[in-house]
Amino acid sequence: MNDNYEYVFFKYLYKKLELNKLDEYLISEKIKMIDQDNVENRISKYFALENKGNIDLFTDEDKKIFNQVFNDKLNNILEDKYDEAISFIERTYQDYFHLNDNLEYKYFGPINDSFLAPSNCIVIGLNYIKFDIDDNNYEEEIERQEQVIFFVLNYIQNKLSKEKNINLASLAYNEVSLSQPFVKI
């Protein structure tokens, strides 16, 4: 059921933030995607929800609604219960993802400062292939690619976060970072 909640939440967020435009931009900039078969919750070519949550902070009534809405096949939720699911998610996602806990920061990846994000944020991961470069100008291409990634991460955190009134953080993951053990907090 948690997987269903997180999938529907990210589908909603992907549409609300219009991340499809950033997917298209990254494709136009020839940023290579990580094979989608190896990454969970793929709605986007590049982006994934990094937050994991649970219903510990839900009221008894919300736990009951959660079970009624999300204890079903994902297709049934998307087809028959989507509006009800979105209404519930909009009301409960901060509790579900523990965005109001006392931690200032959380790790969303390997133990490395590059994967720290404020604990009150929804974290969008940008997954891409960094080191498979066909170009003879390797260093120039790495720099160009890093500028594109930096632009997209800042666009999400600084522009979309304010425009959509959602606390967002964005982190970049590549084939090396994704192969490292992730911290589960």
| Residue 185, in any domain of the structure | no
pLDDT digits (tens, 9 = 90+) for 25-66: 999 999 998 875 544 546 898 999 999 999 988 999 999 999
Domain contains 184: no
**Domain-located, residue 25:** yes
Q: How far apart are CA 94 and CA 83, in angstroms?
A: 18
**Based on the structure, what is the number of domains in the chain?**
1
pLDDT at 100: 78
Taking the C-alpha atoms of residue 131 and residue 90, their distance in angstroms, rounded to an integer, is: 38
Residue 179 pLDDT: 77
Give residue 34's domain range. 2-179
The verdict on residue 167 lying in a domain is yes
pLDDT at 38: 46
Which residues, 6 or more positions from 34, have their beta carbon under 8 angstroms from its beta carbon?
A: 127, 128, 129, 173, 174, 175, 178
- Tens-place pLDDT, residues 98-118: 887 788 999 888 888 889 999
